[in-house]
Structure 1
Amino acid sequence: MAPPSILMSMFFVVSLLFVTSVLSRTIPNQTIKLDKLSKIQAQLDKINKPAVKTINSPDGDIIDCVLFHDQPAFDLPELKDQKTTLKLPEWPMGYNSSEDTTTRVESIQLWSSSGEECPEGTVPILRTTEEDLFRVSNITRFGKKDIQDTMDLHSYAIVSIRGDQYHGAKTNINVWAPITEPTEFSLAQMWLVSGTYDAKDLNTIEVGWQVYPQRYGSYNPRLFGYWTRDAYQTTGCYNTQCPGFVQTNKRITLGAAIKPISSYNGKQFEIDLLVSKDPNIGDWWLIYGSGIQIGYWPSSLFTGLESHAERLQFGGEIVNSGVNEHTTTQMGSGHFAEEGFGKAAYFKNLNLVNSFNEFIPIPVTNLELIVDHPNCYNLSLLSNNDFGTHFYYGGPGRSPTCL
């Protein structure tokens, strides 16, 4: 048997080797974690602006009331000189706006349902949290679409019109809360489009409602907007998560949850959205209801859309990341179009704004249907005096007919 002194020396050496091994694994992991935390904090400091007032929404969202000129949009160098007097848009001819759009806005979002609003001179911005950034795989692309699955993994049930120079689009969309896989989304929106995805010159403005738990941390349907000028490669983002959209309204903001929502075989709740290009300045305004301005995308953000849209699209979209079987993510109400009013989701009163700033109903005959997985999600296009040009759409996702 070895002397005690040698045994102690051997024990010390073994212990030192063990500690060194543990530290060699722990320190790099700690360094990686601290580095990620540092990047997250830097991103939060960049996105979130100082708040004059903070509003806690019942669903856990935090709304920061930020001075108008401090909002993220004005981080763009080309917008620095737009921090002057806000010039409101000229309405399209034939569009029925209310005489006074400064009156109290009806509550369509959870955060303002108790009567809360931001003080004069400030605008509501949904706060980005540490948890929001932890949920994404790439912090540097936070707020942007994943370009790897922008087209291939998506399913659509939409209508499209092309062949003219479009200066706007308007529709009523009823709001649902479809069942959605945690990493997927389900939405209903209208697109204003110029260029093509393949040529990487795609310009879009996209608005509607969206359920996207990985992005927002909840399954609530949310009012959202998106823009890009290079096919989602490097430009654009959701809502106000990067410089771009200029928020102007005090009670309705992009990214916040919508309330109320539609119920199956019950009351239907709609959002009435117009995107219109101001003929004087050229900015693209987002309008709710009868003339309530939510904000605008400056024309300087775009290339093709700087002048006009080449096509308009309306309808539903989901992400399908299923490998061996179709996703269970629902579109619309989760029910097929043939179930009709009160059961299927719908778009009604499809209208466009032409290059003469005229507000015009879209004829059914001018619309092309794009339904790429009809056994999973479908669409029925109609027209009548009550709903104008309209359609029902949606479906359950994976089912006996959708595998």
Structure 2
Amino acid sequence: MWKRVIMSFFAMALLVFDGGVDVKAEARKTLSEIDKKLKLLNKPAIKSIKSEDGDIIDCVDIYKQPAFDHPALKNHTIQMRPNTIFASETSTTEHESSPAMLTQTWQKSGSCPKGTVAIRRVKRKELLNADSLEHFGRDGPRTSFAVNTTNDKSNFFGSFPAPEHSYANLYATENNYIGARGDINLWDPLVESYNEISSAQISLKSGFVENFESIEAGWMVYPNLFNADGQPRLFIRWTLDGYRRTGCINLNCAGFVQTSSVIALGSTFSNVSTLHGPQFQINIRIDHDPSTNHWWLHYYNEVVGYWPAEILCYLKEKAAIVAWGGDVYSKNVKPGHPSHTTAYMGSGEAASELFGRANFITNIRIIDYSLQLKYPDPAFFVVDEPNCYSALIYKAHPKSEPYFYFGGHPDNNCVYNKKYLMKRKMIS
């Protein structure tokens, strides 16, 4: 009997030992894959800058940036500036005039030389936090609407389920947009967990059903992707198939061609807004260049780069829809459910709190085939969880600049939301 017990003990020990070897082998494999991914994402730097916020900015040869890993860009010729530059306005509001360009934290520690682009280095711990290496930088909200480029308004918006996404957006839907811009109020919203996102952005979309295309830019808080902190960071995102398999946030996949040595995507800002305190905003412009069909991103007057025509289809010549607003992504966005996330949208204050408390976007403009920079008219806003978040278009007086306010944070009333709500309002 004891012999059988001893043999059983050794058999169990062998199994445990073998299991340990398997675990270690799997760990080595994972670390090897992470190192391979890091090498793919972090291109060799001509110069590196250590920022006081913990980021490292690599100054990468403009011709060796991640964009050119995309097979469609193998023979792409870099364009440094758009051939067509549309009219621009000086950003002015009733609360402050001509705001200065909001700097990024890393810029205090150095600058990148001419011929390079400023790229935030991806850290190993950020890859370790990812759900998967394959989808690193692709996590996040999907739009709740599909876009149809036909003129049939009854089919323009199609239901597209996004159970982990909540938004408050202002929409322009006239199907012929070649530019959009706005000043986005900057906050540092609280999120419940590291894998949640709170963002504010401008997006342009076109396409059909689940295969719509989208390009967008603004600021986001996303601890899992950015250094495990809650600081807002400049971001871009794009997709060719409704965020299912293509595209990503910033330069975490090949596609967007950066031209700026001054602005680093994914970097923090030198200031953020505070309740009843100073208000800061970032100026975002996205314009189409009809001579090349590239879409150009401007941060204030700095040309950051472009989404090249080679990676686009429906968006190659125009956008069918433009959206301005806020998004919250969480696995606990569950309308009517007690476990709904408490993540803030914007400042966390309701839209009705207005300037100094609520998040806003102002100087909202589009460019259409008239080639005129103007307010979108008609336009409407949508809040899909009005018991959790809110939106409001506000004018202090008839001739003042419209402000699109949005935001809030869920409380006990949030779980009682049972229906989808659409609100419409002209802003002209």
Q: TM-score over 0.5 for the alignment?
A: yes
- Cα RMSD for the two superposed structures: 2.4
- Partner of 2:426 in structure 1? none
Q: Which residue matches 1:95?
A: 88
Q: Distance in 2 between matches of 1:276 and 1:249?
A: 16
Q: Distance in 1 between matches of 2:252 and 2:400?
A: 35
Normalising to structure 2: TM-score of the pair?
Answer: 0.84
Q: What is residue 341 of structure 1 aligned with on the other side?
A: 355
Q: Which runs of 5+ in 1 are unaligned?
A: 99-104
Query: Using the alignment, how far apart are the partners of 1:147 and 1:23 within structure 2?
Result: 43
Q: Does 1:207 align with 2:202?
A: no
Q: Residues 340-359 of structure 1 correspond to what in structure 2 (within 5 A)?
A: 340-359=354-373
**SS of 1:176 mapped into structure 2:** coil
1:274 matches 2:288: no
Residue of structure 2 equivalent to 1:261: 272
Aligned length: 383
1:306 aligns to what?
316
SS of 2:35's partner is helix
2:21 to 27, 32, 35: 27
Instruction: Give the letter aligned to residue 190 of structure 1.
Output: I
Specify the code of the residue in structure 2 equivalent to 1:211: V
Q: Could you tell me which residue of structure 2 aligns to residue 163 of structure 1?
A: 174
Distance in 2, Cα, partners of 1:295 & 1:402: 40
Shift in CA distance, 108/385, structure 1 to aligned 2, threshold 3 Å: farther
Instruction: Identify the residue that residue 423 of structure 2 maps to in structure 1.
Output: none
Counterpart in the other structure of 1:221? 232
- Give how far 1:164 is off: 2.9
**1: distance between equivalents of 2:142 and 2:133?**
16
SS in 2 for 1:21: helix
Cα displacement (A) at 1:331: 0.5
Q: Give the aligned residue type for 1:108.
A: T
Distance 1:85 1:274 in 2: 18
Cα separation, 2, equivalents of 1:362 and 1:370: 15
Q: Describe the shift of the 1:95–1:243 C-alpha distance in structure 2 as closer, same or farther (beyond 3 A).
A: same
Percent identical across equivalent pairs?
A: 34
* 1:300-333 C-alpha deviation (Å, 9 max, x unpaired): 1111001110000110110243363221100111
What are the equivalent positions in structure 2 for 1:105-120 lying under 5 Å apart? 106=101, 108-114=103-109, 116-120=110-114
CA-to-aligned-CA distance 1:7-59 (integer Å, 9 cap, x gap)? 9x999857743541321220111121111111111111111100111111112
Query: CA-to-partner distance for each residue in 1:230-278, whole Å, 9 max, x for gaps?
Result: 1112211110111111111112121111221101001000001100011
Aligned to 1:388: 401
- Tell me, yes or no, if the aligned pair for 2:102 and 2:281 is still in contact at 8 Å: no
Counterpart in the other structure of 1:139: 133
Residue segments in structure 2 that go unaligned for 5+ positions in a row: 92-99, 145-161, 416-428
- Greater shift in the superposed pair: 373-382 or 304-313: 373-382
Matched, 1:64 2:93: no
Q: Which one of the candidate residues 374, 386, 389 is aligned to 2:386? A: 374
Letter paired with 2:271: P
Could you tell me which residue of structure 1 aligns to residue 151 of structure 2? none
**Structure 1 counterpart of 2:211, one-letter code:** D
Q: Distance in 2 between matches of 1:111 and 1:386?
A: 39
* Pick aligned residue for 1:78 from 72, 92, 96: 72
Q: Who is 2:307 aligned against?
A: 297
Q: Does 1:332 align with 2:325?
A: no
Q: Distance in 2 between matches of 1:193 and 1:353?
A: 14
Change beyond 3 A, Cα 1:85–1:44: same
Q: How far, CA to CA, are the matches of 2:102 and 2:83 in structure 1? A: 23
Give the 3-state SS of the residue equivalent to 2:75 in structure 1. helix
- Going from structure 1 to structure 2, the CA distance change for 1:162 and 1:375 (only over 3 Å counts) comes to same
User: Structure 1 residues 112 and 387, CA, compared in 2 at 3 Å: closer, same or farther?
Assistant: farther
| Residue identity opposite 2:16 in structure 1 | V
Question: CA 1:59/1:229 → structure 2, altered by over 3 Å: closer, same or farther?
Answer: same
Larger Rg: 1
Q: 1:84 to 1:248 in 2, by over 3 A?
A: closer
Structure 1 length normalisation: TM-score? Answer: 0.89
Give deviations 1:69-90, integer Å, cap 9, x for gaps: 0000011232232345634342
The alignment partner of 1:348 has SS state of: strand
Q: Hey, what's the Cα distance between the residues in 2 that align with 1:259 and 1:386?
A: 33
Distance 1:10 1:321 in 2: 50
Larger mean CA deviation between 79-88 and 216-225 belongs to: 79-88
Three-state SS of the structure 2 residue aligned to 1:186 is: strand
